[in-house]
Amino acid sequence: MHTIAASLIAAGAAITLLLGLMHLLYTYYGPKLSPRDPELQARMQVVSPVITRETTMWRAWIGFNASHSYGLILFGLVYGYLALAHRDFLFQSDFLLAVGLMLLFGYVFLAKRYFFRIPFLGVLLATAFYVSGLVVSRI
């Protein structure tokens, strides 16, 4: 059963990894994460946030998007690796399984509340695979 459970968790991790890589690509290349209003982007490139004058809203925007991508990529790589190469270790660790589940639920919440349909459905599918893997591992 652990082989099926590990495959389900690895599938969820692969989806998360793909979402993170696509988001990182969109962060640095092309207009997909740029505002539709060029004047807004121009303002973001010169206006600083209240916390510091050492950056601009645009640089912070790029940084937030990149770090969000890194989190998805890290989850996908670590949980995919654990599921495929160290599945016994993963399934014996209630801590790691709970952390992964909480992180995915957090991404589902963020995607539903702040993003749009495609990332929401992607992270929801990844979470469904993960939860299915947990259920199968307990049978």
Select from 104, 103, 133 the least CA-distant residue to 7: 133
Threshold 0.85, pTM exceeds? yes
3-state secondary structure of 101: helix
What are the backbone angles phi and psi of residue 125, rounded to the nearest 5°?
A: -65, -45
Nearest CA to 66 out of 95, 105, 98, 33 is that of 33
User: How many other C-beta atoms lie within 10 A of the C-beta of residue 31?
Assistant: 9
pLDDT along the chain (139 residues), means of 10: 92 98 95 94 96 96 96 98 96 97 97 93 97 94
pLDDT of residue 139: 82
- pLDDT confidence of residue 1: 66
End-to-end CA distance of the chain: 8
Phi, psi dihedrals of residue 33, rounded to the nearest 5°: -105, 15
Whole-number Å distance between alpha carbons of 85 and 4: 14
> Given this model, what pLDDT does residue 60 score?
96
Contact by Cβ (8 Å): 115, 31 = no
Place of tokens 């989806």: 15
